[in-house]
Amino acid sequence: MVRIGAFLVGLFFAGWLLISFLFGAVAYVSDPPQPTVEHEFHKAPKHVSFSFDGPFGRYDRQQLQRGFQVFKEVCSACHSLKFVAFRDLEALGYNEAEVKAIAKQWAIKTPDVDPKTGEMSTRDPVPADHFPKPFANNVAAAAANNNAIPPDLSLMTKARHHGSAYVYSLITGYQPQPAELLREFPDAKTPEGLHYNPYFANLNLAMAPPLTAEGQVSYGDGTKPTVDQMAKDVAAFLTWTAEPKLENRRRAGLATIVFLLIATGLAYMAYQNIWADKKKAA
């Protein structure tokens, strides 16, 4: 009896799902969704190659240092890296003295408490500190950025599909609104204070173009600082902030695959050796 009841309940729900699907299909065919400006003009990230692409890719330390320089001189005015400490920069090739100098010279001081009075104060960052936030709080951040709070960039390339290419495309993707867009969607004109970018989800964002001219950052290694190069370098740096152990993870994965292949081969040879006499007897 219980089985019959369970069968009937399951049959009821299956039938209800089928009816819902049929009604939804009919509604979709008779009244299809109207195209939206985001659907029509949003673009997938550009194709761009990085040294860390593929299973055997590795970070280019010089590129990461250039990317950090772009972040420091351009992006850090609005964006934070709350999950990255100054001492983590040693992985980019900076020595201990250089990391101390970078922390001490950072434009934003670190909040602290005076141990004698208990009052809030500030001090120069030290290597153990994480990168300070550029604004005291979200209210101050929104007030300085057209009511938009700049996101933390520590994990940005993991939070976006094709993260490295997305960051590169967004930085280099600012352009005037296409005339075709305004013809098809007259009400979709970019609002005052926002900027059109087809690589952003809703096409308009509050962030102004961060890289606008060649030579905006002066590289010490002789690399020509074009907008394209700077965008690619900072995208690589933000990939490292999101995945600092990428190379170790790939090395461990490769070693695991080699081990499994060898173990499989040994297991197969052991199987052949153990069962060889039994097969002949059979």
* Alpha helices in 35-178, H assignment, sequence order: 37-41, 61-73, 96-104, 138-143, 156-159, 163-172
pLDDT tens profile 220-246: 899 999 999 999 999 999 999 999 999
The pair of three-digit structure tokens given for residue 121, joined into one six-digit string: 């104060």
User: Same domain, yes or no, for 261 and 213?
Assistant: no
Residue 191 lies in a domain: yes
Residue 251 has pLDDT above 90, yes or no: yes
Residue 8 lies in a domain: no
Do the annotations mark residue 79 as ligand-binding?
yes
Torsion from C-alpha of 50, 64, 254, 83, nearest 10 degrees: -120
pLDDT score of 152: 96
More reliable by pLDDT, 139 or 6? 139
pLDDT tier at 7 (50, 70, 90 boundaries)?
confident
User: Same domain, yes or no, for 261 and 143?
Assistant: no
pLDDT tens profile 176-213: 999 999 888 888 899 988 999 999 999 999 999 999 99
Smallest CA-to-CA distance from 242 within 141, 146, 123, 159 is with 159
Task: Say if residues 203 and 42 touch (Cβ distance below 8 Å).
Answer: yes
pLDDT tens profile 48-79: 999 999 989 999 999 999 999 999 999 999 99
pLDDT score of 70: 97
The pair of three-digit structure tokens given for residue 129, joined into one six-digit string: 């500190």
pLDDT tens profile 101-137: 999 999 777 776 666 666 666 778 899 999 999 998 9
Residue 22 lies in a domain: no
pLDDT score of 122: 74
The tally of domains found in the chain comes to 2
User: Same domain, yes or no, for 270 and 138?
Assistant: no
Question: Alpha-carbon distance 38 to 33, whole Å?
Answer: 13
pLDDT score of 31: 67
Range of the structural domain that residue 281 is part of: 248-282
pLDDT score of 33: 64
Smallest CA-to-CA distance from 155 within 244, 36, 229, 94 is with 244
User: Same domain, yes or no, for 253 and 231?
Assistant: no
User: Same domain, yes or no, for 274 and 226?
Assistant: no
Read off the pTM: 0.83
Q: b/e for 119-133, b at 16 or more Cβ within 10 A?
A: eeeeeebebebbbbb
Residue 280 lies in a domain: yes
Residue 97 lies in a domain: no
The pair of three-digit structure tokens given for residue 46, joined into one six-digit string: 């550009």
User: Same domain, yes or no, for 181 and 253?
Assistant: no
Q: b/e for 216-252, b at 16 or more Cβ within 10 A?
A: ebebeeeeebebebbbbbbbbbbbbbbbbeebeebee
- Angle subtended at Cα 173 by Cα 34 and Cα 208, rounded to the nearest 5 degrees: 100
Residue 182 lies in a domain: yes
pLDDT score of 36: 75
User: Same domain, yes or no, for 137 and 270?
Assistant: no
Do the annotations mark residue 78 as ligand-binding?
yes
* Cβ neighbour number for residue 87 with a 10 Å cutoff: 17
pLDDT score of 118: 63
User: Same domain, yes or no, for 153 and 259?
Assistant: no
Residue 49 lies in a domain: yes
Per-residue pLDDT, averaged over 91-105, amounts to: 95
pLDDT score of 23: 72
User: Same domain, yes or no, for 46 and 146?
Assistant: yes
Residue 14 has pLDDT above 80, yes or no: yes
User: Same domain, yes or no, for 184 and 64?
Assistant: yes
pLDDT score of 230: 97
Please report, for the domain that includes residue 204, its CATH number: 1.10.760.10
CA atoms within 13 A on the CB side of 66: 26
pLDDT score of 263: 96
User: Same domain, yes or no, for 198 and 278?
Assistant: no
Residue 211 lies in a domain: yes
pLDDT score of 267: 93
pLDDT tens profile 131-179: 999 998 999 999 888 889 999 999 999 999 999 999 999 999 999 999 9
User: Same domain, yes or no, for 146 and 252?
Assistant: no
Task: Say if residues 85 and 128 touch (Cβ distance below 8 Å).
Answer: yes
Instruction: Tell me the β-bridge partners of 111.
Output: 122
